[in-house]
Structure 1
Amino acid sequence: MADYSISPERLLAASRELGYIGLHIEQGVPILDRDLNLMHDLIAQTVREIVTRYIGDGAPAGAGGFAVQPLPAPDHEQDFLISAGASTLPGRYLVAGIEVMIAEPVRYSRQPGLPKLTTPADGQPDPRIDTVYLDVFLDEVDAGGDPALRNSLDVGVQTSVRLRPGWVVRVAEGGGLPPAPPGHNFHTLARLARPPGNPAITAAMITDRRQGGLTVSDLERRLRRVEMALLPAFVTPQFTPKLGAPGDEVQIFGTNFNVGAVQVFFGDVAATRTTVGSATQITTRVPRGAATEGEAVQVLLSVENAAGRTATNAAFTVMPAPAFAAPGAQFEPDTGDQGTEVTLHGANFNVAGLAVSFGTVAATSLSGQTSRQVKARVPPGLVPAGSASRTVTIKVTTEAGTVESDDPFVATQAVPAPAFATVGPQFTPKQGAQGDEITLNGKNFNIAPLTVKFGTTLAPNITSTTATQIKVRVPAVPSPPQTLRITVETPGGPAESSSTFTVTG
């Protein structure tokens, strides 16, 4: 009997609940049995869980043990044989990462401590379904089972116990696999379909439920079978149309398009605008970057879902239509007046027939043309008379198509400064009282917003404006009479008269 400070089984369960997978021993402190036991148990349990999760339960290839088989009459009443397999090697079975072995066949009834099987009674289901299952656990072996553990040649006392896999085949009559108690792991071996009133267990009643051929290669094969059932697949036609330019819509046809998140690729370039219409149809658009060097490119389309990625066997032709770079980086600068040089960034700008327009106005000066960029100057006539700016998009056209920018360009107008007349009177009359109308003469007076000041006093009443004249009423100025200069200001700047005006009252 082992003597522990804490039950290893309880300590392991508590540690696993806290997410522990290992421990480190500190120096200069007592070494406790529970620390060493937990170190071993955490490692072993973690390995068993990984084996169970990624390989599973079952018999390895070539080892057919633990098959439930009928016994010949009359021994077949309330009994069956647990086979060791047909091989000369012992049968083996993996349950929850613990491998157990059966060297010789054994009858169910000769396993110690198990209840006898019962005959299905009238009133029970016909047939009654019994579950035969393998109970796997770890046995502790002490000096009573292995005298060498007494350490009689030195310390003369048992210092540890050994762990050995153990197993029992049990039957759940009339039910499925029951929950396993702590330290035990259950796995279904067979199903018995037993009719009422019949004590015999025959071959016709036994359905084998073991998992066989358990190897890493078998696991890969089984996973591959699952993948093939869930991978995207294509039908005929695989897609339509057969060619297109960036931004053009493409329909893809097949199956499993609804398994997890779906991504479409044109060659190695991901499509960013994709809609899964159903499990059998995808609508997508040819992405920027699928053809970038001014020549048509043939690519395979591929669809990726949660199970993996599959490519078409037919090629799609990406036409070298012009394309802008991603929004936010399509040209620079993003504002300028007539004559400003703007560098456009994108693809396929080197195809014949290149033309650039700002809004509807063509740029007449193009330079620096490559597949990835072209320079264009802001054309005249973009900004309407009387306006300071206009927001437009930029279009690029070649023989392969046209593309319009996502980014806006703000065309500005160089605003001429206002000026008073240099020939003739700058204003008439040259004096007046508050409320009198006077006429200012000059140029570039018709650009809003417009202000007029008499000295530092704003004139709030401007009655009319043309490019060469402003009619304005004299404002109330402090302490008249005053002789002062008149200032006109527009977005082009301020202009001050060289002549003076006298406010009489």
Structure 2
Amino acid sequence: MADYSQSPLELLLANQRKGYVGIHIEQGVPLLERDLNLLHDLIAATVRAVIARYIGNGAPAGANGFAVQALPAGQNSQDFRIAAGDGGPGTCLVGGLEVGIPAAVTYKSQPGVPALTTPTTAQPDPRADTVFLDVSLAEVDATVDTDLANSLDVGVETSVRLKPVWVVRVAEGVPVPAAPAGHTFYPLAALQRRRNQDTIDAAVLTDLRQRRLTVSDVERRLSLVEKTLLLPAFVPQPLPQFVPKSGVINQPITVNGSNLSIGTPTVRFGNLTAKVSGAASATQIVARVPGGLTPDGTPVQVKVTLANVGGAVLSDDAFTVQPAPAFADPPSPQFGPVNGTPGTQVTLNGFNFNAGAAQVQFAAVAATIVGTPTNTALVVQVPPGLVPAGSTNADVRITVTTTAGTAVSDDTFRAELNIPAPTFAVPPSPQFTPKSGVAGQTVTLNGSNFNFAPVTVKFDTAAATIVGSPSAAQIAAQVPAGLTAPGTSKPVKISVSTAGGTVTSTDTFTVNG
């Protein structure tokens, strides 16, 4: 361990808070090691801050590195590849420090990193994870580098060296946390991880790195001046950076700033991208609050990010996301199945179904909840009484109410009757009268459940004309023509079809020619 009179990092932070950028040594007084260390650290910190502010973070041109890539099938369970450069070592500029990766490694091969987890049913689907690079400076002393022991002259360690070190981490379902003092976090990739899937394949990966990070590379990158002119910005406080300051899923939020109409602007609440409504103006953009920010059913404060071709900026103000229930947006289904009879179990999909005791209605009829609602799913049974008299089905909307608010589905559910199948009369009652007849003769069929449209009657395979309207117990039908030749007879069965199904007589009707 190095021997200091005061921690260099603590001394640097204290001087930066006071606005100091350098030191001058006075004559005739003791020269302390902390003065020289502070001189070095102030200069280095200023240089790194200028590089980070005016050049940025990312992979320089010709030195690509730290790309997050999918591993082959069979090796990609809770793991991914961290690539080196194209054909050799790779580098990345983070917080003004250049870190190198000599050869590709995997996430799991890094010592001390926590194991990744599989998204559960209680989490958004997909769960938005962010892979980020954690860069800091490590002290190297004589126990690591024996040259620092000065064995050829004074024989004692007189100083240590500072070396950039890194580790790749993952923020699972939450924004990248604030970096502690002495560390810089840089997002490398976004992972849209599907529920109950432990593998990480190329389809879920989005590269977030800035590449070709060289001001002189004018053919493939915007110049520093151009980026400065294009960079979006929030209005300065005390003007409102967005209104309102809180809201629920899908609520439109007006963001105020500048350069908001350049290119294809994006808005993020926390680490989730919001849908932009309409066309942005130079000073305003309207975005809808995304779902998945309140998995515990409680309010959450997040920062808002504006991004365009010039870069990204983070709001000073915080937005409060209220955990009101909301149905899923297309293309995700709002519920399934989309139709059913009383007692059918229907799974509702959305967010914030677990904020307090939930109640569900189909139209104005209360439904029974099955099990315990999660943040993103709720199972209910279709209640009876939804289909009006004289109909076999009805299209209704579904309402979910919790202690945090109410949501009504955009899609409609088709409620259906439990329609009983038709039946013929049971002996000794006749199934039809008369038992024989010629074409055109009216035959009365006896049974039950004959009145659920559409109703059809067939003698053998020939459709018969129905006379009048069928009742529940009787149908009058005419014997169809063409079943037998003149002077002959033919025994046939009679079938009745309704919305509840089809039944065929056990008795035989004789068609006379």
TM superposition score normalised by structure 2: 0.51
Q: Which amino acid aligns with 1:494?
A: T
Structure-1 residue corresponding to 2:130: none
Aligned-residue offset at 1:251: 1.0
SS in 2 for 1:397: strand
Aligned length: 291
Aligned-residue offset at 1:420: 1.3
CA distance in 2, matches of 1:476, 1:218: 92
Structure-2 residue corresponding to 1:161: none
Q: How does 1:442-461 map to 2 (within 5 A)?
A: 442-461=447-466
Q: Which amino acid aligns with 2:372?
A: G
Task: Choose which of 364, 374, 379 in structure 1 pairs with 2:378.
Answer: 374
Whether the 8 Å CA contact 1:463–1:473 is kept in 2: the answer is no
What root-mean-square deviation, in Å, do the aligned CA atoms of Structure 1 and Structure 2 show?
A: 3.1
CA distance in 2, matches of 1:284, 1:239: 10
Q: Which amino acid aligns with 1:245?
A: V
Unmatched segments (≥5 aa) in structure 1: 1-52, 55-215
Matched, 1:339 2:347: no
CA distance in 2, matches of 1:265, 1:403: 23
Aligned-residue offset at 1:475: 1.9
CA distance in 2, matches of 1:480, 1:278: 88
Whether the 8 Å CA contact 2:466–2:475 is kept in 1: the answer is no
Q: How does 1:157-176 map to 2 (within 5 A)?
A: none
Q: Deviations over 1:162-200 (max 9, x none)?
A: xxxxxxxxxxxxxxxxxxxxxxxxxxxxxxxxxxxxxxx
Q: How does 1:188-207 map to 2 (within 5 A)?
A: none
Structure-2 residue corresponding to 1:59: none
Q: How does 1:412-451 map to 2 (within 5 A)?
A: 412-422=416-426, 424-451=429-456
Q: Deviations over 1:40-71 (max 9, x none)?
A: xxxxxxxxxxxxx99xxxxxxxxxxxxxxxxx
Matched, 1:476 2:484: no
CA distance in 2, matches of 1:481, 1:419: 30
Structure-1 residue corresponding to 2:309: 306
Structure-2 residue corresponding to 1:8: none
Structure-2 residue corresponding to 1:280: 283
CA pair 433-303 structure 1, distance change in 2 beyond 3 A: same
Whether the 8 Å CA contact 2:267–2:276 is kept in 1: the answer is no
CA pair 402-304 structure 1, distance change in 2 beyond 3 A: same
SS in 2 for 1:471: strand
Matched, 1:321 2:318: no
Q: How does 1:224-243 map to 2 (within 5 A)?
A: 227-235=227-235, 236-243=239-246
Q: Which amino acid aligns with 1:488?
A: V
Runs of 4+ in 1 over 6 A off after TM superposition: 216-219
Q: How does 1:65-464 map to 2 (within 5 A)?
A: 227-235=227-235, 236-327=239-330, 328-385=332-389, 387-422=391-426, 424-464=429-469
CA distance in 2, matches of 1:415, 1:480: 42
CA distance in 2, matches of 1:480, 1:369: 72
Unmatched segments (≥5 aa) in structure 2: 1-59, 62-213
Structure-1 residue corresponding to 2:51: none
Aligned-residue offset at 1:330: 3.5
Whether the 8 Å CA contact 1:480–1:503 is kept in 2: the answer is no
Whether the 8 Å CA contact 1:263–1:274 is kept in 2: the answer is no
Q: Deviations over 1:93-112 (max 9, x none)?
A: xxxxxxxxxxxxxxxxxxxx
Whether the 8 Å CA contact 2:360–2:369 is kept in 1: the answer is no
Structure-2 residue corresponding to 1:495: 503
CA pair 326-249 structure 1, distance change in 2 beyond 3 A: closer
CA distance in 2, matches of 1:351, 1:299: 19
Aligned-residue offset at 1:234: 2.1
SS in 1 for 2:293: coil
Q: Deviations over 1:205-253 (max 9, x none)?
A: xxxxxxxxxxx9999xx96665444322222121111111001111111
CA distance in 2, matches of 1:445, 1:461: 12
Aligned-residue offset at 1:458: 2.1
Whether the 8 Å CA contact 2:305–2:313 is kept in 1: the answer is yes
Q: Deviations over 1:299-356 (max 9, x none)?
A: 1112112211112211111110112334334333333322111222322111124122
Whether the 8 Å CA contact 1:293–1:372 is kept in 2: the answer is no
CA distance in 2, matches of 1:466, 1:258: 67
CA pair 384-326 structure 1, distance change in 2 beyond 3 A: same
CA pair 243-376 structure 1, distance change in 2 beyond 3 A: same
Whether the 8 Å CA contact 1:246–1:285 is kept in 2: the answer is yes
Aligned-residue offset at 1:388: 4.8
CA distance in 1, matches of 2:271, 2:385: 43
Aligned-residue offset at 1:451: 1.7
Task: Give the number of the structure whose alpha-carbon radius of gyration is greater.
Answer: 1
Q: Taking every aligned residue pair, what percent have the same amino acid on both sides?
A: 46
Structure-1 residue corresponding to 2:190: none
Aligned-residue offset at 1:406: 4.6
Q: Deviations over 1:132-183 (max 9, x none)?
A: xxxxxxxxxxxxxxxxxxxxxxxxxxxxxxxxxxxxxxxxxxxxxxxxxxxx
Q: Deviations over 1:448-475 (max 9, x none)?
A: 2222122333213443212221111222
Aligned-residue offset at 1:269: 0.9
